[in-house]
Structure 1
Amino acid sequence: MLLFRSRQKQPQVEAKNQANVSSSDTISPLLKSKLAVLKERMGTSSDFIIREISDTSSGPYPFAISYIDGLIDQGLLADLMESLTSDFGNSFQGDVDPAIWFKDKLPVGNLNVVSSEKQMVNSILEGRVLVMIHGVQEAYAVSILGGQRRGVEEPTSQTVVRGPKEGFTEDISTNTAMLRRRIRSADLSFESRIVGKYTQTKISVAYIKGIANPDVVKEVLSRIDMIQTDSILESGYIEEFIQDGVRSTFPTIYNTERPDTVAGGLLEGLVAILVDGTPFTLIAPVTFFRFIVSSEDYYQRYDLATFLRIIRFVSFFVALLLPSIYIATTTFHQEMLPTTLLIALAAQRESTPLPALLEALVMEITFEVIREAGVRMPRAIGPAISIVGALVLGQAAVQAGIVSAAMVIVVSFTAISNFVLPAINMAAAVRLLRFILMFLAGTMGLFGILAGLIPILAHLASLQSFGVPYLMPLAPFNKNNMKDVIYRAPWWKMKTRPVMIGDNNEVRQSANHNSFSEQATDHNKDPMR
Structure 2
Amino acid sequence: MGLFTKIRKKLTGASSASAQNQNYLKPDPLHPTLQENIQKIKETLGNSTDLMIRKIQIGKNRKYRIGIFYIDGLVDNKTIQKDIMKSLLTEILGTEVEEKISRDPLPLLKESILSVGSLKDIGDYGTFFSSLLSGETVLLVDGCEQGLALSTVGGEQRAITEPVTQTVVRGPQNAFTENIHTNVSLVRRIIKDPNLWMETRTIGRVTQTKVSVMYLKGIADEKVVEEVRQRLDHIDIDGILESGYIEELIQDNTYSPFPTVYNSERPDVIASELLEGRIAILVDGTPFVLVVPAIFVQFFQSAEDYYQRADFGLIRILRYVALALALLGPSFYVAITTFHQEMLPTTLLISLAAQREGVPFPAFIEALIMETTFELLREAGVRMPRPVGQAVSIVGALVIGQAAVEAGLVSAAMVIVVSVTAIANFTFPSFNIGISIRLLRFGLMFIAASFGLFGITVGLIAIVLHLCSLKSFGVPYLSPMAPFILSDQKDAIIRLPRWALFTRSKTTHPRNLVRQQPPQKAKPKPPKGEGS
From 71, 74, 77, the counterpart of 2:74: 71
- Counterpart of 1:5 in structure 2 is none
- Counterpart of 1:7 in structure 2 is none
Point out 4+ residue stretches in structure 1 off by more than 3 angstroms.
Answer: 54-60, 88-91, 525-529
Alpha-carbon distance, 1:527 to partner: 4.2
5 Å matches for 1:424-435? 424-435=431-442
Q: Are 1:323 and 2:323 matched, yes or no?
A: no
Alpha-carbon distance, 1:376 to partner: 0.9
- Counterpart of 1:87 in structure 2 is 91
- Counterpart of 1:142 in structure 2 is 150
* Distance in 2 of aligned mates of 1:299 and 1:292: 16
5 Å matches for 1:153-192? 153-192=161-200
- Counterpart of 2:489 in structure 1 is 482
* Distance in 2 of aligned mates of 1:89 and 1:356: 89
* Secondary structure at the counterpart of residue 94 of structure 1: helix
- Counterpart of 1:456 in structure 2 is 463
Alpha-carbon distance, 1:503 to partner: 4.2
> Is the 2:490–2:496 Cα contact (8 Å) retained in structure 1?
yes
- Counterpart of 2:375 in structure 1 is 368
Structure 1 vs Structure 2: percent identity of aligned residues? 51
5 Å matches for 1:160-239? 160-239=168-247
Alpha-carbon distance, 1:48 to partner: 1.0
Which residue identity lines up with residue 332 of structure 1 in the other structure? F
Q: Please say which of residues 109-118 and 285-294 is displaced more in the overlay.
A: 109-118
> Is the 1:37–1:117 Cα contact (8 Å) retained in structure 2?
no
- Equivalences, count: 505
1:263-287 CA-partner distances (Å, limit 9, x unpaired):
0000000000000000000001010
* Distance in 2 of aligned mates of 1:329 and 1:286: 36
* Distance in 1 of aligned mates of 2:330 and 2:509: 40
Which residue identity lines up with residue 406 of structure 1 in the other structure? A
1:140-170 CA-partner distances (Å, limit 9, x unpaired):
0111111110000001011001100000000
Q: CA, structure 1 residues 304+528, in 2 after alignment: closer, same or farther (shift >3 Å)?
A: farther
Q: CA, structure 1 residues 23+374, in 2 after alignment: closer, same or farther (shift >3 Å)?
A: closer
From 26, 29, 33, the counterpart of 1:30: 33
The TM-score normalised by the length of structure 2 is 0.92
* Distance in 2 of aligned mates of 1:121 and 1:369: 45
> Is the 1:196–1:232 Cα contact (8 Å) retained in structure 2?
yes
- Counterpart of 2:411 in structure 1 is 404
Q: Please say which of residues 108-117 and 232-241 is displaced more in the overlay.
A: 108-117
- Counterpart of 2:299 in structure 1 is 291
* Secondary structure at the counterpart of residue 186 of structure 1: coil
5 Å matches for 1:120-139? 120-139=128-147
Q: Please say which of residues 86-95 and 344-353 is displaced more in the overlay.
A: 86-95
1:172-213 CA-partner distances (Å, limit 9, x unpaired):
000000001000010011101111111111000110100111
* Secondary structure at the counterpart of residue 506 of structure 2: coil
Q: Please say which of residues 339-348 and 39-48 is displaced more in the overlay.
A: 39-48
5 Å matches for 1:244-255? 244-255=252-263
- Counterpart of 1:506 in structure 2 is 513
Q: CA, structure 1 residues 59+184, in 2 after alignment: closer, same or farther (shift >3 Å)?
A: farther
Gaps of 5+ in 1: 1-10
Which residue identity lines up with residue 519 of structure 2 in the other structure? H
Alpha-carbon distance, 1:380 to partner: 1.4
1:463-521 CA-partner distances (Å, limit 9, x unpaired):
000000000011111101110001201111111111111140111111x327x8xx34x
> Is the 2:301–2:429 Cα contact (8 Å) retained in structure 1?
yes
Gaps of 5+ in 2: 1-11
Q: CA, structure 1 residues 140+450, in 2 after alignment: closer, same or farther (shift >3 Å)?
A: same
What is the aligned-residue RMSD (CA, Å)?
A: 2.1
* Distance in 2 of aligned mates of 1:475 and 1:349: 43
Q: Are 1:386 and 2:393 matched, yes or no?
A: yes
